[in-house]
Amino acid sequence: MDIQALNKIALKMVEPGTGILAADESTGTIGKRFESIKTESTYESRRDWREMLFRTSEAMKNHISGVILYDETIRQNAADGTPLVELIKSTDTLPGIKVDMGTTQLAGRPQETITQGLDGLRERLKEYYDLGARFAKWRAVVEISHPDQYVGTTPTIGGIKANTHALGRYAALCQEAGIVPIVEPEVLMGGYHNIDRCQEVTEITLNSLFTELYEQGVKLEGIILKPNMIVAGKKCAQQPSREEIAERTLKVLKNTVPAAVPGIAFLSGGQNNEEATRNLDMMNKIGGFPWKLTYSYGRALQQSALFAWKGQESNYKLAQEAFSHRAKMNSLASTGEWSQDLDKS
What pLDDT does 269 receive? 86
Which position among 51, 112, 143, 184 bears the catalytic label? Answer: 184
Average pLDDT of adjacent 10-residue blocks, the chain of 345 residues:
95 98 95 96 96 97 98 97 98 98 94 97 98 98 81 87 98 98 97 95 98 98 98 95 98 98 95 94 97 97 96 96 98 97 89
Please give the pLDDT value at position 279: 97
The parent domain of residue 223 ranges over 3-344
Residue 38 annotated as catalytic? no
Distance CA 66, CA 22 (A): 9
Q: Measured at the alpha carbon of residue 283, what is the angle toward residues 307 and 319, in degrees to the nearest 5? A: 15
Calculate the CA 202 to chain-centre distance: 16
pTM: 0.96
* Peptide bond before residue 262 is cis, with ω within 30 degrees of 0: no
Alpha carbons 194 and 330: distance in angstroms, whole number? 26
Q: What is the pLDDT of residue 226?
A: 98
In whole angstroms, what is the distance from residue 326 CA to residue 59 CA?
A: 9
What per-residue confidence (pLDDT) applies to 110? 85
261 CB-near residues (< 8 Å, 6+ apart)? 220, 221, 223, 224, 225, 291
Q: Report the CATH number that the domain containing residue 7 is assigned in CATH.
A: 3.20.20.70
- Out of 12, 137, 226, 328, the active site residue is 226
C-alpha dist (Å) from residue 284 to 11, 280, 287, 303, 321: 17, 6, 5, 24, 25
**pLDDT for the residue 345:** 74
Between CA 130 and CA 127 the distance in angstroms is: 5
Three-state DSSP class for 308?
A: helix
Residue 15 bears catalytic tag: no
* Number of independent structural domains in the chain: 1
